[in-house]
Structures are given as C-alpha cells and as structure tokens.
Structure 1
Amino acid sequence: MSLLNRLFNVDDVRYHYYYRDIPAGNYTWTHDFSKFPGLQMQLPGEAFVRQYTREIGHASTDYWHYSIYISIGYIVTIFTLKFLMNQREKGFDLKRELILWNWFLAAFSFMGTVRCLPEFWHVLINDGFFASYAKNTYVQDIRINTWYWFFTISKAAELIDTLFIVLRKRRLIQLHWIHHTLTLNYSWFVFMDVPSTARWMVNMNFIVHTFMYSYYALTAMGYRLPRQVNVTLTTLQIVQMLFGFYIHIDCLRLKLMGQPCDVSMAVAVTGFSLYALFFLLFMNFFIRTYIIPNSKKAVKAAMAKKQNNEKKFQ
C-alpha cells in the first residue's frame, strides 16, 4: 500500500491490475486487430514495443525520475542561452529548421490522433463517459500502448521548442517552460501506472497539438492567419485543462471512497493538482493576451470618441 493510501486509510482498488502484470511478464498481445477499433494494421514501431514490452515497462518504472534531471538541465540551458542571446544584437534565423520541426510535430500528433482516437471514441460511445477515464481497457491493444509510450517520450523532444524561442530572441513566457517541464515529469511519472486517465490526457493532447503545431508551421512559413485561430487554439487548451481537472478530481473521489478506478492515489492527486495549475496558467495567459488588451483598446476608443464630441460643441 502506498504512502497516500495509508495516509487516507483506503485500499488501492482497481478494475484491472496491468501495472503489476506488465512488469511481471503476465500479458499477451493478440495479432487479431479486427477486434479493436481503428486501422487494422501494425506499424514497425508498434512491433518493436510488442517485442520489448517488459523491458520498456521496467525502464519506465526504474528511470522515470530521469525526467527531473532532464528538466533541470533544460531550465539551466534555456536561461543560460537566454542570457547569452541578450548579448547579441540579433537572434539566429532558423526559419527553415523551425518550419520542419513544427511540421514534424504536427505529423506526429496527427498520427497519434489517427491511432488513438478511434479507441477513445469507441469507449465513449459503447461504454460511456465514466468508463473512458475510470477503466484502462486500452492496455489490451498493443498499438495504443505503443502510441501512449511514444507520447511520453515526445514530451522530452518537445523541449526543443524552447530552443527555437531563445535562439531566435523571441519572448519566452513562464507558461511555456513551466508547461513543458511539468508535462514531461508527470507523463513519465504516471506511465507505468497505466492510468485510465491517460486516455483523455493523450488524446486531447494529440488533437490540440495537431492543430497547434500546424498553426506554428504555417505562421513560420509567412502565412498571416486570422487572430481568431490563435484565440481558438488557446481556448481549446483551456477546455483540455478543464476536462483533465474534472476526470482527475473524480478519480480522486473514487479512490477516497474505496471504489474501483484504474489509477493510483498518487496519479489522481498529482493529476488533479497539475491540471488545476495549468487551467489557472492558461486562463491568466488568455486574459492578459486577449481580454485586457481589447479592454484597453475599447477604453481608448471611447475616450477618443468623447474628445471628438466635446470638440464639436466647443
């Protein structure tokens, strides 16, 4: 029993115990993909994970804390580079590299969506909303496991985003590096708990990132997209955080009541805390970026109109 379970005096009751079965080698993966929704094929990367599932499970359990070391190195690196770049008159161009990087991440996110979304939708329609975040039945399909693992690894690769910002001397906001760092640590921490909440976390992230990185790639190519596109993307991220907050707080409720739910107490607590923080950060960004500037413009316009009217009567 974990420390949190002992603290709240509740048992870790689950529908499935894959988090113990996979490291022990107690699993079987079927080649009959017709029983699962989605594309009826297995890609090369998925075959690799099928072959080394147990080793990946052990490595994910034993070395998840390396995400902390990566995060420390990341923070030191970006702020050191930021200091050094401040000494330069101009940043590096890196336009071609930025375009290629964003299209790569957009394509990766799109492939993740294509692979994972059919299973997510199937569970929502056939088993209901509750089952979609309380039962980790996705583990039965090695293809889904593979893309959830790819998703976890990708959180380290996405740190490269910040290098483009710093090296090109663009404004680095706190939301950017905090979000990248905490997402990396959380996804590595929870992976081998095979939490049922991963179904929402991964699918929402893949979908939003498909649009987000496509938007970044197009703007890097010089296309001037309507401002509403950026507003919509930020709104989608806020909605993503709201759903993440809700499903984790409900999982926490289930754990505290001793009801079955395929997450550990630690995942429920950290997930609830993480999504609450992200919601506040994204709301703060939205208000400061879109609402306050518009309010200032409205006030200035009203003042200018008032002054014009006063001049007419002078």
Structure 2
Amino acid sequence: MVKNPWLPVAAILLYGIFIKVGRAYFHNRQPLSWRTTLAMWNLSLSVFSFIGFTRVAPHLIHTLYHYSISEFFCFDPEQSYGSEPSTGLWLVLFVLSKFPELLDTFFIVIHKKPLILLHWYHHISVLAYCWVSYVNNTPPGIIFCAMNYAVHAIMYFYYFLMAVKLKPKWFNSYYITVAQISQMVVGVIVTVLGFIIPPMYGKECALKKENNIAALIMYGSYLLLFLQFFFKRYTTKKGGVSNKKSTKEE
C-alpha cells in the first residue's frame, strides 16, 4: 500500500466519473431491475463483515484489557495485531473492501434511486482515510475497523432482506440509523482522546496528529450528516417517528 498511493486516488476519480456519466446515461432511460444481483451483493458484504468482526473484535478486547489507555493509543499497532496473522489479515481486507463497496453506488445509479451527499461523500472519504490510516499504522484504527464491520454486518443483511422482500416488520431501518450514529459518536470520542492522551504518554507516540485531525473531520462530518438525515427522514412535524427506509451508509 505504501508503494501504491495512486490506487485510492484513481479509484475515487473513476468513481466520480462513473456517477456523472452513469446518471447522465440513465437520465432519459428506464431504470434496470437487478434485484437478485443486489440481494446477493448485500448478503456477501454482510457475511464478509460478520466474519471480519469475529476476527478483529476479540483482539481489540484483548488489547484494551492488557494495555493501558496511553499504550493503546501510542504503541505501534504492528507490535500488537501485527503478531496476530488473522487479525492483521482482516484489517488489510477491511481497507481493501472499501474499493468494491463503491459498487453500492452502481446499484443506485442503474436503479435511478436518489444519490444523496451522505452516500457518495462517505464512500470516497472512508476509502481515502482507511488507506492513509493503514499506511501510517494508526493505533485506534482497529476500533474504527471493528465498529464498521459490526454495523455493516447488520446493515447489509437488512438490505438483503429488503431486496428479497423478507424483512420482518420489527426490523425497522430506524435502528440501523441509530447504530450508524452511535458509531460516529464513538469515532468522535476516540479521535478527541487521540489529542488528549499522547501528550500524557511521555514517549514517542505512533498516533500521528495529522491523521487524527483527518479522523476527527471525517467522523465529525459523518455525525452531522447522519443526524441531519435522521431528523429529516424519521421525525415528523408532530415529533413522531416515521417508518421510511434508511440510507445505505456507514
């Protein structure tokens, strides 16, 4: 990854071109109906995310239990999960998975669904951040990875059930959005701690300030956008909660 910094840049540029060209192409055409393909796509991402969570979360818990909070934020991650092949593998796969996840937008375009800012901004920013974060061996990155795996496992399974029309009534998209917002809240808290803890460590810290600033901007903007989406989509003028679909995001 260190030797190929152009890959995420190229992917983001091609992604932007596809959105522009694809939406123009379908402007005066009927939407396609790839429901079965979409269902299998969502199911595969759900299973992948679930497996990833089961491989990363145990090591995260182990590290938080055996390391002090300052050590967790400042130790070189390779001293921890770098010695655990399975965890290291699923962290790499997590970063690489942000490339195929761009295909989420492909289905939105061919089905002529609304493409909101939260969707495309999330995809390009998380791809760029994950790549840079992995290259810089960001210590708290494993927290972000575990959270994302967990939320995606549930979220993509929800969309699979929607695609095959088997979603139970109790499985409301409202809960998916709440989980997404919770993820962003934790992300903001972790990044804020990333500014407070390193100066207290007393040694050289592996967490780079520039990377932490990027993480705070990313999670802070996600939190604002998800809150905006939540209140716009789920709350009514009377203060009630609607039953509309959630956005396909983080």
TM-score of the pair, normalised by structure 2: 0.87
Contact kept, 8 Å, 2:46 with 2:157, in 1: the verdict is yes
1:222 maps to 2:165:
yes
Where 2:237 maps in the other structure, the secondary structure is: helix
Q: Distance in 2 between matches of 1:202 and 1:158?
A: 15
Q: Distance in 2 between matches of 1:295 and 1:99?
A: 34
Gaps of 5+ in 1: 1-59, 299-314
Q: 1:271 to 1:259 in 2, by over 3 A?
A: farther
Q: Distance in 2 between matches of 1:283 and 1:132?
A: 30
Q: Distance in 1 between matches of 2:20 and 2:168?
A: 30
Q: Residue in 2 aligned with 1:287?
A: 231
Rg larger for: 1
Contact kept, 8 Å, 2:73 with 2:207, in 1: the verdict is no
1:107 maps to 2:51:
no
Q: Residue in 2 aligned with 1:93?
A: 33
Where 2:39 maps in the other structure, the secondary structure is: helix
1:157 maps to 2:100:
yes
Instruction: Tell me the alpha carbon deviations over residues 68-110 of structure 1, each in whole angstroms, 9 at most, x when there is no partner.
Output: 221121012112211211211x211111110111111011101
1:107 partner letter: V
Where 1:166 maps in the other structure, the secondary structure is: helix
Deviation at 1:297, TM superposition (A): 7.8
Instruction: State how many pairs are aligned.
Output: 236
Contact kept, 8 Å, 1:65 with 1:189, in 2: the verdict is no
Of 181, 185, 196 in structure 2, the residue corresponding to residue 253 of structure 1 is: 196
Q: % of aligned pairs identical?
A: 27
Instruction: Tell me the alpha carbon deviations over residues 262-301 of structure 1, each in whole angstroms, 9 at most, x when there is no partner.
Output: 311221111111111111111111111112xx22586xxx
Q: 1:168 to 1:125 in 2, by over 3 A?
A: same
Contact kept, 8 Å, 1:248 with 1:271, in 2: the verdict is yes
2:31 partner letter: G
Contact kept, 8 Å, 2:185 with 2:223, in 1: the verdict is yes
Structure 1 runs, 4 residues or longer, greater than 6 Å off? none
RMSD of aligned alpha carbons: 2.0
1:205 partner letter: N
Q: Distance in 2 between matches of 1:227 and 1:71?
A: 37
Where 2:98 maps in the other structure, the secondary structure is: helix
2:136 partner letter: D
Q: Distance in 2 between matches of 1:211 and 1:109?
A: 9
| Matching of residues 191-206 of structure 1 within 5 Å | 191-206=134-149
Where 1:158 maps in the other structure, the secondary structure is: helix
Q: Residue in 2 aligned with 1:116?
A: 56
